[in-house]
Amino acid sequence: MEFLVRAENRLPPETPAERREELRSGERARAMELREAGILKRLWRVPGRTGWIGLFEAPDPAALHDALVSLPMSPWLDVHVEALAQHPQER
Amino acid sequence: MEFLVRAENRLPPETPAERREELRSGERARAMELREAGILKRLWRVPGRTGWIGLFEAPDPAALHDALVSLPMSPWLDVHVEALAQHPQER
Amino acid sequence: MEFLVRAENRLPPETPAERREELRSGERARAMELREAGILKRLWRVPGRTGWIGLFEAPDPAALHDALVSLPMSPWLDVHVEALAQHPQER
Amino acid sequence: MEFLVRAENRLPPETPAERREELRSGERARAMELREAGILKRLWRVPGRTGWIGLFEAPDPAALHDALVSLPMSPWLDVHVEALAQHPQER
Amino acid sequence: MEFLVRAENRLPPETPAERREELRSGERARAMELREAGILKRLWRVPGRTGWIGLFEAPDPAALHDALVSLPMSPWLDVHVEALAQHPQER
Amino acid sequence: MEFLVRAENRLPPETPAERREELRSGERARAMELREAGILKRLWRVPGRTGWIGLFEAPDPAALHDALVSLPMSPWLDVHVEALAQHPQER
Amino acid sequence: MEFLVRAENRLPPETPAERREELRSGERARAMELREAGILKRLWRVPGRTGWIGLFEAPDPAALHDALVSLPMSPWLDVHVEALAQHPQER
Amino acid sequence: MEFLVRAENRLPPETPAERREELRSGERARAMELREAGILKRLWRVPGRTGWIGLFEAPDPAALHDALVSLPMSPWLDVHVEALAQHPQER
Amino acid sequence: MEFLVRAENRLPPETPAERREELRSGERARAMELREAGILKRLWRVPGRTGWIGLFEAPDPAALHDALVSLPMSPWLDVHVEALAQHPQER
Amino acid sequence: MEFLVRAENRLPPETPAERREELRSGERARAMELREAGILKRLWRVPGRTGWIGLFEAPDPAALHDALVSLPMSPWLDVHVEALAQHPQER
């Protein structure tokens, strides 16, 4: 099933550049794995913000939860999830 | 998977008593069927309101959607759904 | 560019079934055309609601506007649009 | 009487892993006791978030309050409670 | 247990004066009965509004619900209830 | 005149236990004085939260303000006040 | 004591011009009386809206309530009141 | 001085096409006059919605109010205005 | 033109008393100057809160901005401004 | 295409004056470049606040994002963007 995920990034602006870069590259690497596993299907930036909107696919909400908390930035993400129902037009 | 469903009932207060009763008894009958099918697990009243909070179980959001729109009161319900993830304590 | 579109459907519940069906089938037909034109990319139901969430692609917001108001249900839709920025991971 | 409890967890992301683990295991132990006492009936994760949704049963709101503040994580929880009324269908 | 109840009155302004008066006097009579039964303890007007704030006492939320829907104005009331916990200072 | 007062307590969870206890006992002592002065009429806990809801009586909003800021916890309280109008049923 | 009053005007746009004018002139006349009685101290328009913001003075919230509901437009006004406390700088 | 004006259009979807067109063409004509008078400086559509966002210039809020209520669609517009302050970079 | 200004005061409760008093007395002195200049016309306390509501008069929003940021407490104030339009009844 | 951008500035009030000035002058310099590049078309202050409202033009949301995060104050800005559609009156 598919989920629309919206994440605000609360990493403090004062975070040292090195720590920030470490988190970002870890984030990219883990996102790549989630893409390859078919869990992360699309990812967008919300213009002007550090957060993102993503389209995920997972067998159930607990599996989605596990994927989201596996992101290194996860402790600073404020995440809201919407379960999406298949539209009859796409059956 | 389980869903927490919150429904506000927007049936106009001016609805004739007969029509209202017809909808309510249809609602009860259909809810009973959903219970027997294991889709509706718990149902509560929000005190002072005509809406309800329900705990549903369905294989996916589309199946939940079909169950919810099968309720005769459905055209007047303002429904919000939250997908619930199994908590590790309950595994 | 891509847009995330969220539509609530305010068609009154008292709308006659015939009129409702006419609107729905017109909606399906027009959505099909927008898909074929590459404007409507994905469409989901929000479980329990008559509205939808869609992923659209259009050259600019005015073109998106024209596509959205071309839907027969458009006068009853309460639409909110978010412009999505391409994420560096998808470049 | 039953209560629907929604808790957001405001524990700072910078909390040392050891302190965090200590709080979590204390939380698990206390939740287990509340389950055995029949106060905590169900517990869910909200996907992507560190908070939870729970179904509690307590003789009155003061007893519920005492149960909630007995959780070791309690000082960091932002809790909202809804009193649920038994639905006639479940009488 | 005590409940703080907040009611907005959605009776349409166009309601004929006679119908309005009939509802109001029925409301007063029923409120008087709820006072005598010890269920309605205090009642206030919110200045400038037709709704009210009330302090109720009932054995459980279902009993409160029954009291609230017994008010003749009930179909037009938009009611929100908060369960109040006894404060240690008042034990 | 009566006021409904709602206070959220923003005292940081990291506040040392000793400081916290000192504030709480000062709070209890001052609340007792406000009760004896007839300013604080009722006090409730909001289940699961550290804040409170109170029913106050004071000659005017300035006197209420002085009473509220006399509470030792006052610098950490986020307070909202509603002026209550006497209901004709209670005249 | 002084009150800040904010009123949204929900008079339906379809109201006949004659009825609308009748209400408006009644409103002006009653407002004039409230000014002369020292209850209405200032009145502003919120640009682009049919509602208003007013500064009122009344001995208590019940007297303010009576003044507000004496306005002929009152059944269509959505009113919110804030009790203002005298600032020490103005003592 | 400049104002940012946001208008939602609440004209009922059931309005006959003729009446709707009459209002729209009146709206265009009046907007043209406001442009020529230097009051309306820019106008945008919010994609998917019938309302608009406009940049206005007027000597004071009362003059802006008069301009806004001179629009034939005005009774159905839900308008919010923000006064904009000149930015030092544009002095 | 007149403005309704609402300020929440975000000065941290942990601010040393000396610093706090220094800011407050500077605030009083500057407010006095703004009164004498005819910019600050009225000032109220919101009961229970450290912020205030003020009625200001300034030739334009930029002048109001300059007045507001001249307050020593300004960096901690969360300010919202509404431009008020003269009401025809006060012309 | 044009975008309406609203930025709240979360730079902590405790930031040293020197650091604050450094950020502001960097902000001015970069804004000047964005103006010359035709990306920043208008900029306003929201009276009483440190944030701003801007009218931007960029080929797509990703280009707008790059422009916004190129501002030195960007890590402290809480930015919301609305895509504006050209209004037929301005074609």
Say if residues J41 and J56 touch (Cβ distance below 8 Å).
yes
Instruction: Give chains near H: 3+ CB pairs under 8 A.
Output: C, G, I, J
| Residue H75 CB-half CA count within 13 A | 11
Mutation for J interface: C80, C86, C87, C90, most J CBs within 10 A: C86
Question: CB pairs under 8 A, 24+ apart, for G15-18?
Answer: none
Residue type (1 letter), D76:
W
Residue type (1 letter), E73:
M
Give the confidence band of G19 by pLDDT, cuts at 50, 70, 90: very high
Interface touch G5/E48, C-beta < 8 Å:
yes
Question: Please, do chains I and H touch (3+ CB pairs < 8 Å)?
Answer: yes
Judged against a pLDDT cut of 90, whether residue G91 lies above it is answered with: no
Closest residue in C to A30 (Cα) is C89
Residue H44 within any structural domain of the chain: no
How does the average pLDDT of chain E come out, rounded? 97
CA distance E39 to chain B (A): 14
Instruction: Give chains near F: 3+ CB pairs under 8 A.
Output: D, E, G, I
Closest among H22, C65, H25 to J89, alpha carbons compared: H25
Q: Output the six-digit token pair for B25.
A: 């008894």
Judged against a pLDDT cut of 90, whether residue J91 lies above it is answered with: no
Say if residues F30 and F39 touch (Cβ distance below 8 Å).
no
Q: Once rounded to an integer, what is the mean pLDDT over residues D84-89?
A: 94
DSSP chain H: -EEEEEEEE---TTS-HHHHHHHHHHHHHHHHHHHHTTSEEEEEEPTTSS-EEEEEE-SSHHHHHHHHHTSTTGGGEEEEEEEPEEPGGG-
How does the average pLDDT of chain F come out, rounded? 97
Residue G56 within any structural domain of the chain: no
> Which residues in chain D touch residue F48, judged by CB atoms under 8 angstroms apart?
5, 7, 64-65, 68-69, 77, 79-81
Mutation for E interface: F27, F44, F50, F91, most E CBs within 10 A: F44
> What is the spatial distance between Cα A25 and Cα A18, in angstroms, rounded to a whole number?
11
What residues in chain I have their Cβ under 8 A from chain J's Cβ atoms?
3, 5, 7, 10, 61-62, 64-65, 68-69, 75-77, 79-81
User: In this structure, what CATH number is given to the domain that contains residue J38?
Assistant: 3.30.70.1060
Question: Please, do chains F and C touch (3+ CB pairs < 8 Å)?
Answer: no
Interface touch A62/B85, C-beta < 8 Å:
yes
Give the confidence band of H91 by pLDDT, cuts at 50, 70, 90: confident
> What is the spatial distance between Cα A66 and Cα A3, in angstroms, rounded to a whole number?
14
What is the number of residues in chain C?
A: 91
Judged against a pLDDT cut of 90, whether residue I91 lies above it is answered with: no
pLDDT tens-place string over residues D32-82? 999 999 999 999 999 999 999 999 999 999 999 999 999 999 999 999 999
Question: Please, do chains B and I touch (3+ CB pairs < 8 Å)?
Answer: no
Residue B91 within any structural domain of the chain: no
pLDDT tens-place string over residues J31-84? 999 999 999 999 999 999 999 999 999 999 999 999 999 999 999 999 999 999
Closest among E56, E21, E53 to E35, alpha carbons compared: E56
Interface touch B45/E64, C-beta < 8 Å:
no
User: Tokens 């002072």, residue?
Assistant: B48
Judged against a pLDDT cut of 90, whether residue F91 lies above it is answered with: no
Burial category of E49 from C-beta neighbours within 10 Å (exposed 0-12, middle 13-18, buried 19 and up): buried
pLDDT tens-place string over residues A54-83? 999 999 999 999 999 999 999 999 999 999
For β-strands C40-45 and A85-86, DSSP reports them as: antiparallel
Report which secondary-structure segment, H or E, holds B56. Answer: strand B52-57
Say if residues H78 and H10 touch (Cβ distance below 8 Å).
yes
Q: Output the six-digit token pair for F52.
A: 């409170």
CA distance F55 to chain E (A): 10
Interface touch F84/E46, C-beta < 8 Å:
yes
pLDDT tens-place string over residues I19-48? 999 999 999 999 999 999 999 999 999 999
> What is the spatial distance between Cα E6 and Cα E46, in angstroms, rounded to a whole number?
9
Torsion over CA: A24, A27, A33, A39 (sign): negative
Closest residue in A to B61 (Cα) is A85
Q: What are phi and psi of B54, to 5 degrees?
A: -135, 150
Residue D7 within any structural domain of the chain: yes
> Which residues in chain I touch residue F79, judged by CB atoms under 8 angstroms apart?
47-49
Residue type (1 letter), E68:
L
pLDDT tens-place string over residues B16-31? 999 999 999 999 999 9
Closest residue in D to F44 (Cα) is D62
Closest among D6, D16, D14 to A76, alpha carbons compared: D14
| Residue B6 CB-half CA count within 13 A | 9
Interface touch J47/I81, C-beta < 8 Å:
yes
Nearest CB among D43, D45, D85 relative to B47 is that of: D85
CA distance J44 to chain I (A): 10
Number of domains into which chain E is organized: 1
CA distance A49 to chain J (A): 6
Interface touch A48/J81, C-beta < 8 Å:
yes
The residue segments making up the domain with residue H32 are 2-39+50-58+67-85
> Measured in Å, how far apart are chain F's first and last C-alpha atoms?
13
CA distance D52 to chain B (A): 8
> What is the spatial distance between Cα F29 and Cα F34, in angstroms, rounded to a whole number?
9
Say if residues B53 and E65 touch (Cβ distance below 8 Å).
no
Instruction: Give chains near J: 3+ CB pairs under 8 A.
Output: A, C, H, I
User: Tokens 């334009």, residue?
Assistant: I60
> Which residues in chain E touch residue G10, judged by CB atoms under 8 angstroms apart?
13
Judged against a pLDDT cut of 90, whether residue H38 lies above it is answered with: yes
Q: What percent of chain I has pLDDT over 70?
A: 100
Interface touch J45/I64, C-beta < 8 Å:
no
Residue C29 within any structural domain of the chain: yes
Q: What percent of chain F has pLDDT over 70?
A: 100
How does the average pLDDT of chain H come out, rounded? 97
DSSP type of residue J15? S
DSSP type of residue J84? P
Q: What ipTM is given for this predicted complex?
A: 0.96
Residue A77 bridge partners (DSSP):
A9
Judged against a pLDDT cut of 90, whether residue E45 lies above it is answered with: yes
3-state secondary structure of B28: helix
Interface touch A68/D45, C-beta < 8 Å:
no
Judged against a pLDDT cut of 90, whether residue F46 lies above it is answered with: yes
SS3 track for E26-48: HHHHHHHHHHHCCCEEEEEECCC
* pLDDT at res. G15: 96
* pLDDT at res. E91: 84
- Report CA-CA distances (Å) from B18 to A62, B21, C13, E74, F66: 45, 5, 18, 18, 56
* pLDDT at res. A76: 97
Burial category of H13 from C-beta neighbours within 10 Å (exposed 0-12, middle 13-18, buried 19 and up): middle
Residue J18 within any structural domain of the chain: yes
What is the number of residues in chain J?
A: 91
DSSP type of residue G59? S
Residue E90 within any structural domain of the chain: no
